[in-house]
Amino acid sequence: MYERLRAYFQNKLAMSEAQFEAIKQVLTPKSVRKHELVVWQGEVERHGAFVVKGCLRSYVVADKKGKEHIIQFAPENWWISDQHSMLRGLPAMFSIDAVEDAEVLLFGPDFFPLLQTLGSDFQAFFHTLLQNSMAAMQRRLISTLSATAEERYLEFLQMYPTLVQRLPQRMIAAYLGVTPESLSRIRKELARS
């Protein structure tokens, strides 16, 4: 389990054995079954995860209608968490669950203070990670504001070509912000050409 994390850090961040041990201390390996929840929207006691195998997602149930909206997919080698709420001890803004059976390394609120002690390379690394997420989020917002559902679907195909086969369509629809019916129509239309 931990080997995958070490491999992930290769070429990204120079790390001593002691540092890696310290990180292992605050990470708990866990198998998560498909549909199993890792975080409940609204709960205070909770975790984030590094995905070793399988795929998780974070999502909110926003509407009175109970409609789901997916914020992020996290396949292998992705981090997923609600940092904002976690660090402040606030109720989680969204839920996290497994889209496929998965192997993850869970971390709690103590993960971030630990990073502080591991030196500025670590801080910089995770800061960069956050910046990348932010940039991705901005691009997605713009796309949601300015592009049609079909254009967004094509962008999604480009961005996550491997995920498309692994995810049920209703989840892609929930990510794009359209109904499964609409996505079905879009795919039909694209197939015609």
User: Which residues of this chain interact with a second copy, rule CB under 8 A?
Assistant: 60, 62-63, 67, 69, 71, 83-85, 87, 93-94, 116, 120, 123-124, 127-128, 130-135, 137-142, 144-147, 177
Least distance (Å) between residue 176 CB and DNA: 8
84 binds, among DNA, a second copy, none (CB under 5 to 8 A by kind): a second copy
Is residue 188 packed enough to be buried (19+ CB in 10 Å), middle (13-18) or exposed (0-12)?
exposed
Tokens coding 38: 């890792």
Residue located via tokens 């869970």: 106
3-state helix, strand, coil in the chain (%, to 5): 50, 20, 30
Nearer to DNA by Cβ, of 88 and 188: the residue is 188
Least distance (Å) between residue 191 CB and DNA: 8
Angle, vertex CA 161, rays to CA 155 and CA 163, nearest 5: 110
Q: Is 91 in the site for DNA (CB under 7 A)?
A: no
The residues that touch DNA, with contacts defined as CB under 7 A, are 65, 148-150, 168-170, 177-188
